[in-house]
Structure 1
Amino acid sequence: MKKLLLIEANGMAGGDLLDAAQELGVEVYVATHEELYCHYRHELKEKITGTIFVDLGSIETAVRDLLSFAREQGVDGVVTGWEFFSPLVTRLAAGLGLPAHDPEKAGGARNKRVMAEVFEAAGVPAPRTVVVASAAEAPVVVARAGFEYPVVVKPCENAGSVGVSVVKREEDLAAAVDFAQGWPSEFPHGTPLETTVVIQEYIGGKEFSIETVVFEEKFHHLAITEKFTTTDATRAEVGHTVPAALDSAAREAILTTVEQGLTALGFRYGVAHTELKLLPDNTARIIEVGARPPGDHIVKLVQQATGVSEARAYIQAALGEQPDVLPAHNRAAAIRFFTPPSAGVFRSIENLPEGPATVATAIYVEPGKELAQPQDNISRIGHVILTADSTAEVNRLADEALAAVRIGVA
């Protein structure tokens, strides 16, 4: 029986990966913190063969301890569903002689500063980017680069739209940089994050993500996902639909650009989640790439829409086996997130969608919980997943569902 090392199971993709491993007959060992494992749901724990408690707050310590553990157990593949540990997975797999991305380029798929440098050197279409270490230097650096406002300000190493701002005038730039530097470590493992900040030219157009399985440096694109985001100063993601409604020219432009980016970043085995903007002239710009499954339950959307399990394909690729990527059907699926109208105490949520198109609903908070001002993906309080025969139909159902929901905040 094959053995898999999963770096942190307690994320959106963790359950999907454990389910897929069980279906494949693969034993799973999980690396996490002991205090986090204590809070794992029972249904997660029962699918885990064994655990190793390791200090993920120190990547060098984690590499050393996990290499030793994996060799002792005879691990055949390494994966993660957790954004922050994709470079760790690449280093471990390469160190074990297992299928891996290029370990020399592992940081480029996690650190936005490094990613921008790789893209510029390789000529990959992406936003022009500058890097600052402090708020004081930001206006000078932006002016020297010749950027026009608005600009996008991001932490180098955070995720989930945390710390991201769209800045429309120079007077607001310093505050946005301070905001982006407000998270010096990852939660809940305490992994230190680089605190330099990237500032990018604003790219208009429509936003998409591309879900790709990579095997032997060949790219198998499972889906192009349409992304829905807020349009204020922050950029929280409020929903996704699979597949995006695109003509053949737009699809070709998107996928050609994605493959340029993945090649430059050294993708060889595993999965890629690429976020991208498509401009009106059918040219594309890569915003960022992750060497891990998509969050926000997009794995479930892809499976509902195509019948392909991205989690299963990821595990197969990590084990060096030909991944199952052929679609079984052609439908559409959507997720929409419930966010509070304002900060305050959560009281209630009413008129949740029901009926045959509703795959699942979830509420994350209990009445009485204090809610912060909604400004990023962490502000969500729940979601609904819907399915239909077409993209147009599932988007209509999603719009109707969100319009009907009532969220009470006092």
Structure 2
Amino acid sequence: MSGLDPARVAVMVEAPVTGAGADAARLLRERGLSTLLLTHDPDGMPQYLRRQLAQQDVSVIQTSTLDVEAMRASVLQHLDGSPRAVLGMYEYYAAQAAELAREFGCPGPAPEAVAICRDKARQRDQLAGTELTVHYRRCHTADQAQSAAAELGTPVIVKPTNLTGSVLVRRCDTPHEAKEATEAILRQGEYLGIPVQNEVLVEEFIEGAEYSVELMHGRAVAVTSKTLAPGTVIEIAHTVPAGLATELQDYLSRVAEEACSVIGLRWGPAHVELRVQESGRAAVIEINARVAGDRIPELVRLATGVDLVDEHIGAALGEAARQGEPEAPVATIRFRQGPGGRLNRVSKLESARAIAGVREVHLRIAEGQEHRLNGSNQDRVAWAIATGDVEAAARTAATQALDTVELDWARMQGATP
């Protein structure tokens, strides 16, 4: 990177594994900028992500991405001056990216707001006293969680305060189950190199349909409908638009906008998850100070013409947003969960990609890799994106694509069938 003009370089703090990071590198390159990726574990990135980043000539620098000063020093070892922009697109490192942007004088979200978003307990405290939140208790021991579940009334949701992707999140139907779920969180120690906080949230369980609102600069851009695997918190499908009556869609947008305002998140992207009760009231599940994962930005682009990743880049560069055109009325993504095991062989992948309406079929693991289940979104091994004139047509195409791909698995010792 030496010899490059720092004003033509953007720094990305880690790259999410579901595509937004690779998309950002491509879009930056289109704007004439180079990408410097800071990561704590280059060899730990999935093979497909390393390939995608290499195709965009991304320079990968190993450093401690939980340490803002270490990142700053690493950047200045490779650039003679401050970069043009700093992007935080990966949930676990969003707060550090916001602080690094401030250090370099780059546009970005308020680090204080991002830090609140990164701590689900602080989020709940910030929203307390509004009609946006749910009843909850902060607990530091399993016994406290058991008592909290009894007090709130089961079922409850028990979750760690600083993880994402539904990792270690459990619905508990008895206080004893809440105790067991808390014990599992407190003994975890770390996850993907992230220290797990010694605290859990016990929340009332909200029965109802789940949605997310995708926002930019505190204003709603799209509403996404979500589908969960039965009896779990694992997301197996998303669709844009959500197919709601205008009144309900506008209401969810207002709730998400108010939640971001309360947190102080007014710059850049946000992803707000909500559940709508039978009464019609929407409760905020969580707020993320980043573009959504799970390829939701691609669904939004296909269905609305708004490229959330490009809007984020434009804001970070101080440039105007580039408005596109919708490519289809509806876009959906469907996920395929895998068994525990080693993936021996993949076949009919190109046949799946050739199905009418299918825009993308992707495998998260490669032949020869091992896959272990942990009861979270990490259990998913493949996805398919499809578009259509109506939701049913897009759903059928995406489902057919996933059903077409053949995966041959070998059992591993200790794997779940």
> TM-score normalised to the size of structure 2?
0.86
Question: Which residue in the other structure is 1:92 paired with?
Answer: 100
Q: 1:249 & 1:29 partners in 2: Cα distance?
A: 43
User: Among residues 30, 33, 45, which one is paired with 2:37 in the alignment?
Assistant: 30
Question: Which residue in the other structure is 1:228 paired with?
Answer: 227
Cα separation, partners in 2 of 1:96 and 1:114, compared to 1, 3 Å:
same
| CA shift digits 1:281-315 (9 cap, x unpaired) | 33211111111121111122222222222111110
Question: Which residue in the other structure is 1:135 paired with?
Answer: 142
Cα separation, partners in 2 of 1:273 and 1:70, compared to 1, 3 Å:
farther
Question: Which residue in the other structure is 1:257 paired with?
Answer: 255
User: Among residues 164, 174, 177, which one is paired with 2:179 in the alignment?
Assistant: 174
Q: 1:68 & 1:407 partners in 2: Cα distance?
A: 45
Question: Which residue in the other structure is 1:17 paired with?
Answer: 24
Q: 1:47 & 1:75 partners in 2: Cα distance?
A: 18
SS of 1:138's partner is helix
CA contact (8 A) 1:272 1:293 kept: yes
Q: 1:257 & 1:301 partners in 2: Cα distance?
A: 22
1:136 Cα shift? 2.3
CA contact (8 A) 2:301 2:326 kept: no
1:347 Cα shift? 5.9
Q: 1:314 & 1:34 partners in 2: Cα distance?
A: 25
SS of 1:100's partner is coil
CA contact (8 A) 2:334 2:395 kept: no
User: Among residues 321, 324, 327, which one is paired with 1:323 in the alignment?
Assistant: 321
Question: Which residue in the other structure is 2:303 paired with?
Answer: 305
Q: 1:162 & 1:37 partners in 2: Cα distance?
A: 19
| CA shift digits 1:323-370 (9 cap, x unpaired) | 235654552111111113x54555667776442211122233456655
SS of 1:75's partner is coil
**Residue 192 (str. 1) matches residue 195 (str. 2):** yes
User: Among residues 164, 168, 172, which one is paired with 2:169 in the alignment?
Assistant: 164
1:227 Cα shift? 0.9
Question: Which residue in the other structure is 2:415 paired with?
Answer: none
| CA shift digits 1:43-93 (9 cap, x unpaired) | 41352464443212x435446536856984332221122110111122122
Question: Which residue in the other structure is 2:111 paired with?
Answer: 103
1:372 Cα shift? 3.5
Q: 1:200 & 1:63 partners in 2: Cα distance?
A: 36
Q: 1:75 & 1:92 partners in 2: Cα distance?
A: 11
Question: Which residue in the other structure is 2:268 paired with?
Answer: 270
Cα separation, partners in 2 of 1:235 and 1:37, compared to 1, 3 Å:
closer
SS of 1:276's partner is strand
Question: Which residue in the other structure is 2:13 paired with?
Answer: 7
Cα separation, partners in 2 of 1:186 and 1:170, compared to 1, 3 Å:
closer
1:11 Cα shift? 2.6
Question: Which residue in the other structure is 1:201 paired with?
Answer: 204
Q: 1:275 & 1:61 partners in 2: Cα distance?
A: 32
| Aligned residue type for 1:231 | P
| Aligned residue type for 1:177 | T
Cα separation, partners in 2 of 1:43 and 1:150, compared to 1, 3 Å:
closer
| CA shift digits 1:131-153 (9 cap, x unpaired) | 1112122122333xx31111001
SS of 1:275's partner is strand
1:247 Cα shift? 0.3
CA contact (8 A) 2:206 2:275 kept: yes
SS of 2:194's partner is coil
| Aligned residue type for 2:163 | N
SS of 1:356's partner is coil
> TM-score normalised to the size of structure 1?
0.87
Q: Structure 1: which 5+ residue stretches go unaligned?
A: none
SS of 1:293's partner is coil
| CA shift digits 1:18-37 (9 cap, x unpaired) | 11111222232221136438
CA contact (8 A) 2:42 2:60 kept: no
SS of 1:36's partner is helix
CA contact (8 A) 2:383 2:402 kept: no
Question: Which residue in the other structure is 2:3 paired with?
Answer: none
**Residue 59 (str. 1) matches residue 67 (str. 2):** yes
Cα separation, partners in 2 of 1:129 and 1:30, compared to 1, 3 Å:
same
Question: Which residue in the other structure is 1:244 paired with?
Answer: 242
Question: Which residue in the other structure is 1:73 paired with?
Answer: 81
